[in-house]
Structure 1
Amino acid sequence: MSEFNIPLSRVMVLERTLEHGGTVTCKLQRPEASLDAQIYVENDNTTHHIKVRMGPLASSLALPRKLATKCQSLRDFLQDTANGRADSGAQSEEALALMEAQESVDEILLIGQIAYVIPTVNRDRPFGAVVINDQGEVCAAVTGSSKEQLAAAVRAKLQPGHEGLGEYA
């Protein structure tokens, strides 16, 4: 048995719907069957809020508007859902949370600094960030329970004259 896929022409319709919002029906196909996904997109300034219904199954997803791969992420989400890989939604949520944390940290970096945001194994502080400068020196290494706390911890470490600059939190 082959998997449900979205034809390229429908991917382009998904892209337009993501940008402008609204409702669209997307047909997922495999040789022996097809499946209609009803997709409703509502946009705000920062996020695409997506609701999907495939027969009796309903699901939702939020994608950052700035995300370069948002159309591919939506396509993958739809195909994974249609093919019974519902757990991929949780993985997508984790990936999106990491991307949002990366954006939060990037906003407070000084010129010449690069941040690397990673998941941790600590459930209480699931986000980690390491900031380096142009010379590859560690300027900050912190963990946080949310994107806001992570960004605040990085900001505190990067404050000029802050004691312990570059030490682990």
Structure 2
Amino acid sequence: MNEFTINLRRVLLLERTLENGGNTTCPLHRPETTVDAHIQVENDSRDHHLHVRFGPYTGSITLRRGDSTKYMSLRDFLQDVANGRTEAGQQTQRAIALMEALDCVSGVLPQGLRAYITPTTNREHPFGTVVTNDQGEIRATAYGSCKDTLAEAVRTKLGHPTEGHGEHP
């Protein structure tokens, strides 16, 4: 399974921010991408109050200052949000998938064309795209089951053959 994770070294850096308060950025990794969690910590005499932002999505958690497992609780919370195991995390997962689809489709477009990506209600084809030129005229529309099938559908509709399948002698 390709889930976002935080390495142990990063957890130790979170410890310092937890104790002192302030802001930090914590990258979460998975094989195909990295996303930054922006963390703001406010402390009082009893608790750490954390506000976390992944792009436009936010979450918050309160941890007890004396709890010896608070660092791991923070790590678990961040991973849960990033991996869609909370409502905010599900929104984050969708946003990341849409960004990755946009990058993939944009990579197959000729100069002067722009892609717009949207989620669909179709479970078999959850991604949709509209490709326009600089004047806003629609040049292609497509649906895909993943970022790669969406990019291939756009490439086909624009009349560009798939690369690397024996078309060269």
Relative to structure 1, is the Cα distance of residues 111 and 95 closer, same or farther in structure 2, using a 3 angstrom cutoff? same
Q: 1:25 offset after TM fit, Å?
A: 1.9
Task: Spell out, residue by residue over 1:62-84, the C-alpha distance to the aligned partner (whole angstroms, 9 max, x if none).
Answer: x2xxxxxx344993259615269
Which residue of 58, 61, 79 maps to 1:82? 61
Equivalent residue, structure 1, for 2:14 = 25
Question: Considering only CA atoms, is the larger Rg found in Structure 1 or Structure 2?
Answer: 2
Task: Spell out, residue by residue over 1:97-151, the C-alpha distance to the aligned partner (whole angstroms, 9 max, x if none).
Answer: 0000000001011111110000011111000000001222111001000000000
- Would you say the 8 A contact 1:129–1:143 is kept in 2? yes
TM-score using structure 1 length: 0.54
Q: Which runs of 5+ in 2 are unaligned?
A: 1-5, 40-50, 63-76, 162-169
Relative to structure 1, is the Cα distance of residues 82 and 140 closer, same or farther in structure 2, using a 3 angstrom cutoff? same
Q: Distance in 2 between matches of 1:146 and 1:119?
A: 11
Map 1:87-126; keep pairs closer than 5 Å: 87-126=87-126
- Partner amino acid for 1:99? M
TM-score using structure 2 length: 0.54
Q: Distance in 1 between matches of 2:131 and 2:27?
A: 38
Aligned length: 114
Q: Which runs of 5+ in 1 are unaligned?
A: 1-17, 49-62, 64-69, 162-169
CA-atom RMSD in angstroms: 3.7
- Would you say the 8 A contact 1:119–1:127 is kept in 2? yes
Identical-pair percentage: 36
Q: Distance in 1 between matches of 2:99 and 2:27?
A: 23
Task: Spell out, residue by residue over 1:9-33, the C-alpha distance to the aligned partner (whole angstroms, 9 max, x if none).
Answer: xxxxxxxxx9xx932225569xxxx
Q: Distance in 1 between matches of 2:126 and 2:138?
A: 20
- Partner amino acid for 1:76? R
Relative to structure 1, is the Cα distance of residues 89 and 144 closer, same or farther in structure 2, using a 3 angstrom cutoff? same
Task: Spell out, residue by residue over 1:46-99, the C-alpha distance to the aligned partner (whole angstroms, 9 max, x if none).
Answer: 523xxxxxxxxxxxxxx2xxxxxx344993259615269821001100100000
